[in-house]
Amino acid sequence: MKKYRFNNESKSFDEESLTAGRIILTILKYCLYGIAAAAVMYLLFALIFSTEREKSLSLENEYLEQERDKMSDQVDLLDDVIKNLELRDKTIYNDIFGMDPPSTETFIEADTIASDSFLASMTDEQLAAYTNEEVDRAEERISNVNRQIRAIFQTLGDEEFKPTSLPSILPVENFKLAQTGASVGMKINPFYKTLRRHGGFDIIAAVGTQVLSTADGVVAKIDKASKGMGNSVTIDHRNGIRTIYGHLSEIYVHEGQNLKQGDVIARVGMSGTTFSGGLHYEVVRQGRSVEPVNYFFADLSPAVYRDMVVISSYTGQSID
Amino acid sequence: MSKESRYIYNSETSSYDLYVPSKLARWTRFGIVVAVGLAFFFLYFWIWNGVLGKSTPKTAILEKKNAAMLASIADINERMDAQNAALGKLQERDNVVYRSVFGMDEVPQSVRNAGFGGVDRYADLKIYMDADYLISSRNRLDILTKKAYVQSLSFDDIQALSARAGDMANCVPSIYPVVPTKAMQQTSPFGYRSDPINGVAKFHSGIDIGGPKGTDIYATGDGVVVRVDYNFYGYGVVVDIDHGFGYTTRYGHLLGASVIEGQRVSRGDKIGELGSSGRATGPHLHYEVLYKGNAVNPWNFFSNDITPEEYQDMIAKSRSRG
């Protein structure tokens, strides 16, 4: 059946011709309708049916939500419990030492990084400001470290300076973190159970363990006693630093003997007033006993060093 | 369909009539659109899902929600990290400080970090896609809760002692068991020695203090008398005092005991007289200090600075207390 179109200009009926353009236009037209129909179909389909994956996803969602609520409730509860425990800890510490427990927050703070959810909660402007702040802080830290490194290089450049003249190693070999005892400070004396100043660092070690000289030096004094530090060796490192090793059994050195860092000087014992086998190690600088832990940098990784500082300051009771 | 009207030539009337499509034609056209739509729908679905590997909008929404849930569980895990660190600090102080100060045994790590064996507690979680993560999170939480519980039990024990921490210095046996005059000296030290009766090398678990028969013996710290006994082949008349905080003292070869089992004594209270009962060669006191059941050298506990006069003062005070 032929179809005609009315031509307005010539006022006549023209036969409709099937030109290529017209065919393409028609196909396109149908495609467009098809796409619209596909969209509507998908909507209907999505409303009524779910794919296997969607089914399992929505089930899992429901479950995850339940699980999350349960867990966050329990974590909230735990928070309360731990706060309560911390309070009790403080009370106990106060009962014993008459003061608040030492804080180790500074160590933990350095490790904290903003959580993803914290960052996600900020607007772009806040995020920019926060990032700027962090960058400033990092720059400040970098310049501090830079200054310190420069100072270290200056000291290293000094001709007379020898790194082995600092008591920078541990006085026993194969040291394990669990051997850390009390460091310098007010500690409970194990015999009288009263607070007394403890001048050294306790290393819990088996009787007979070799004791090393922690730096180059000369043996200044050897004491043999049944009370106090018991058998002890004092080494002068000639730079205002002396180290003292107490509660020894056998002593292998004599007064005036020259020593290199790492030389075996004695064996761990139980001589003198000591509660258990162990080494009492003191670093005396300009006549004052200082924290020996701070000198162990050459022997320890930063993580172990950090743990050691925490444990030695936490330990409330000395061995002597 | 085109807005431009179309016409059909009617040969009977020789005129052009307006073309009106039949119902069938309309339906056919509609059918074509639906079929094409369906074809496109499947085509798109296939390209999107199969070729590009993308999720459909609904799946994407669900997946996003799922990821958000997992993220908030990750946040909970982060909180657990902080709690674990806090608990770790408390445990450290508990074991290293409190328990060593009070002479208590450490809570074993196996008890502190005990898991949950036996039945599979998390079987219900196994069917989910992120089962491993969920199970490990919930397992952590359960262990953490148990840790906190163990810590709280441990603090119960410690608080019972810390409430009387001030008494601790009075309980620890830190004085000489007799008036420290020149006449009352140590005759046999702590450690290995040859046995005074058969000469065999033997560990001497205390110290011997020789002196005249009938000399008063005093409790060296506050505590409770836990044993008053007589042993012909051993320590003769023997008194054990439990001082708490891990300490016990033993007084052997007494002439007689002046305390009874269960009696509370204070430092400086008289508990008996020096004698030579049991396996002894002459009148002396065998004095032992036990820490957590092990004999330690009592000599280390005596403070040097106490003079006989001060000692007498202390006994006088103890007497006036009754």
Using one digit for the tens of pLDDT, what is the confidence trace for A209-252? 999 999 999 999 999 887 788 899 999 998 889 999 999 999 99
What mean pLDDT is predicted for residues B159-187?
82
Q: In the beta sheet, which residues pair with residue A7?
A: A12
Which residue has 């004396």 as its token pair? A189
In this complex, the residue of B72, B98, B128 whose CB is nearest that of residue A60 is B128
Q: What is the pLDDT of residue A255?
A: 93
> Burial, B24: exposed, middle or buried (Cβ in 10 Å; 0-12, 13-18, 19+)?
exposed
Output A6 or B238, whichever has higher pLDDT.
B238
Q: Is the pLDDT of residue B136 over 80?
A: yes
Q: What is the pLDDT of residue A109?
A: 47
> Which residues have CB under 8 Å from B71's CB, separation 6+?
A116, A117
**What is the nearest CA distance from A66 to chain B, expressed in angstroms?**
10
Q: What is the pLDDT of residue A103?
A: 62
Q: Is the pLDDT of residue B15 over 90?
A: no
Q: What is the pLDDT of residue A110?
A: 45
Using one digit for the tens of pLDDT, what is the confidence trace for B215-251? 999 999 999 999 999 988 889 999 999 998 889 999 9
Interface test with B, best of A58, A97, A193, A319 (most B CBs within 10 A): A193
**How far is A115 from A93, CA to CA, in rounded Å?**
33
Output B87 or B127, whichever has higher pLDDT.
B87
Q: Is the pLDDT of residue A95 over 70?
A: yes
pLDDT bucket at A310, cuts 50 / 70 / 90: confident
pLDDT, averaged across chain A: 84
**How far is A277 from B86, CA to CA, in rounded Å?**
31
Q: Is the pLDDT of residue B82 over 70?
A: yes
Q: What is the pLDDT of residue B138?
A: 87
Residue A108's closest chain B neighbor by CA? B85
Q: Is the pLDDT of residue A71 over 50?
A: yes
Using one digit for the tens of pLDDT, what is the confidence trace for B21-72? 788 888 988 888 888 778 878 887 788 778 887 777 888 888 888 888 889 9
**How far is A191 from B298, CA to CA, in rounded Å?**
10
Which residue has 């046996």 as its token pair? B173
3-state DSSP of chain A? CCCEEEECCCCEEEECCCCHHHHHHHHHHHHHHHHHHHHHHHHHHHHHCCCHHHHHHHHHHHHHHHHHHHHHHHHHHHHHHHHHHHHHHHHHHHHHHCCCCCCCHHHHHCCCCCCHHHHHCCCHHHHHHHHHHHHHHHHHHHHHHHHHHHHHHHHHHCCCCCHHHCCCCCCCCCCCHHHECCCCEEEECCCCCCEEEECCEEECCCCCCEEECCCCEEEEEEECCCCCCCEEEEEECCCCEEEEEEEEEEECCCCCCEECCCCEEEEECCCCCCCCCCEEEEEEECCEEECHHHHHHHCCCHHHHHHHHHHHHHCCECCC
**What is the nearest CA distance from A144 to chain B, expressed in angstroms?**
29
Using one digit for the tens of pLDDT, what is the confidence trace for A117-171? 677 778 888 889 988 998 999 999 999 999 989 988 887 777 777 878 889 899 9
**How far is A79 from A93, CA to CA, in rounded Å?**
21
**How far is A79 from A177, CA to CA, in rounded Å?**
29
Residue B88's closest chain A neighbor by CA? A82
**How far is A53 from A47, CA to CA, in rounded Å?**
15
Q: What is the pLDDT of residue A104?
A: 54
Residues 179-208 of A with CB under 8 A from B: 188, 191-194
Tokens found for residue A37: 């129909």
CB within 8 Å: A41 and B7: no
Side chain identity, residue A179: Q
Contacts of A319 in chain B (CB under 8 A): none
Q: What is the pLDDT of residue B116?
A: 66
- Range with lowest mean pLDDT among A180-189, A275-284, B112-121: B112-121
Using one digit for the tens of pLDDT, what is the confidence trace for A296-305? 877 888 888 8
